[in-house]
Structure 1
Amino acid sequence: MIEKIKKILKTLIKYTILFIIVLNIVSYFKALDLNKEKLDIKTFTLLDGSNYIVKDDKPLLLNVWATWCPICALEEQNIEELSKDYEVITIATQSGSNEEIEKYLKDKNLSFKVVNDEDGLLSQKFNVKAFPTTFIYDKEQNLKFSEVGYSSTLGLKLRLWWSSF
């Protein structure tokens, strides 16, 4: 019986590793088409109507997501945690009105800064075709990292740390 359990666990681990490798390969190829240019947006209008001015002394994490995206829902707590210590702007794409997004955020207990991309124009500017997509810019707004799909808190923290040099 123990041998059978060991064999099942070994197979499970093998397929989990294979699955993670395949996901990373897919993410890599999806990221090839993203806008790689320097961030040329200096201000974002947030849900509450206030303007967020991009700081020129810190890295910036820009996360493009949607309320209807299941992978985004898995990642949103990672983004929430990062928003407490880092510069984070999120763009909610084709996710409804400001009020609908605010209700979503309240229901999920999320407080990160959100731009409503109701018509999808910002997503197009960054050439985003899959969600979530994350961009990390250094303090000079040069793109350092881009990721399509789920990203862990640790992975994003390490990229932000690396972008601060």
Structure 2
Amino acid sequence: MKLAGQKWTLWVRDIVIGGIIIAAVLAWQGRDMLEQDGSVSIAHQVLPSLQGQPSPLLSDETPTLVYFFAPWCQVCHLSIGNLEYVNNDNIKIVRVALDYANIQDVEAFAAQHEINSPILLGNNQIKQQFNVSAYPTYYLLNTQNEIIGGSKGYSTAAGLKLREFLINYQ
């Protein structure tokens, strides 16, 4: 019986250490992101879509999840499909392409991942405004266009659903 108790203690220790390591990595990744406490407000902007129509970046009616990606980014290739698990009735999802060589690269990315929703074509001004330094970068904004969340790197479908849940109960 004593051996089983020791194994349980080792498992708990390993889980706690793993959690601390994950928290440290996430904190390091987010070190240069904009403040996420609602103190940063983003002005209304319109960007061209991949289809050529001007589209608003943010929504006044629902919270907005802005997903910044680059077509050459391998993590973006892995993560962009996870956005499909977020309920568009609760959160407006905006995909913004940055650091692309040409529009054909963005079109090929969209076709490869069967993205039927609009993709906005970002620019260096948007990249600087949101302090995007790695891909993918996510920002969550409330209906007052204040940043209330964000992260960099891969986000699972479960992680995105959790963000959706949290925003609905704030």
Question: Which residue of structure 2 lines up, in the alignment, with residue 110 of structure 1?
Answer: 115
In the alignment, does 2:23 pair up with 1:29?
no
Q: Give 1:137 shift.
A: 0.6
| Structure 1: 5+ residue stretches without partners | 1-9
Q: Aligned residue for 1:146? A: 150
Which residue identity is paired with 2:119? V
Deviation at 1:21, TM superposition (A): 5.2
Q: Which residue is equivalent to 1:129? A: 133
Aligned-partner residue type, residue 54 of structure 2: N
Partner residue of 1:80 out of 68, 84, 92: 84
Task: Report the RMSD for the aligned CA atoms in angstroms.
Answer: 2.6
* 1:59-105 deviations in Å (ceiling 9; x for gaps): 10001111111111111110233375531111211122222211221
Instruction: Report the equivalent of 1:157.
Output: 161
Rounded Cα–Cα distance in structure 2 between residues aligned with 1:22 and 1:70: 23
Deviating above 3 A after TM superposition, structure 1's stretches of 4 or more consecutive aligned residues are: 20-24, 83-86
1:147 match: secondary structure: strand
Count of residues in correspondence between the two structures: 152
Q: Which stretch of the first structure deviates more once superposed, 149-158 or 131-140?
A: 149-158
- Corresponding residue for 1:56? 60
Query: Per-residue displacement from partner, 1:13-37 (whole Å, max 9, x unpaired)?
Result: x69x83x753442222232321232
SS of match in other structure, 2:131: coil
1:7 counterpart residue number: none
Please, which of 91, 98, 103 is the counterpart of residue 98 of structure 1?
A: 103
SS at match of 2:86: helix
Distance 1:144 1:77 in 2: 23
Counterpart code for 1:38? S
| TM-score normalised by the chain length of structure 2 | 0.75
Aligned partners of 1:42, 1:83: CA distance in 2, in Å? 23
Amino acid at match of 1:163: I
Indicate the residue corresponding to 1:40 in structure 2: 43
Give 1:38 deviation, angstroms: 1.2
- Which 5+ residue runs of structure 2 have no aligned equivalent? 1-9
Deviation at 1:161, TM superposition (A): 3.1
The code of the aligned residue for 1:143 comes to I
How far does residue 152 in structure 1 lie from its aligned partner after superposition? 1.4
Q: In 1, are the aligned partners of 2:81 and 2:113 still within 8 Å (CA)?
A: no
Q: Given the superposition, is the C-alpha separation of residues 80 and 98 from structure 1 closer, same or farther in structure 2, using an over 3 Å criterion?
A: farther
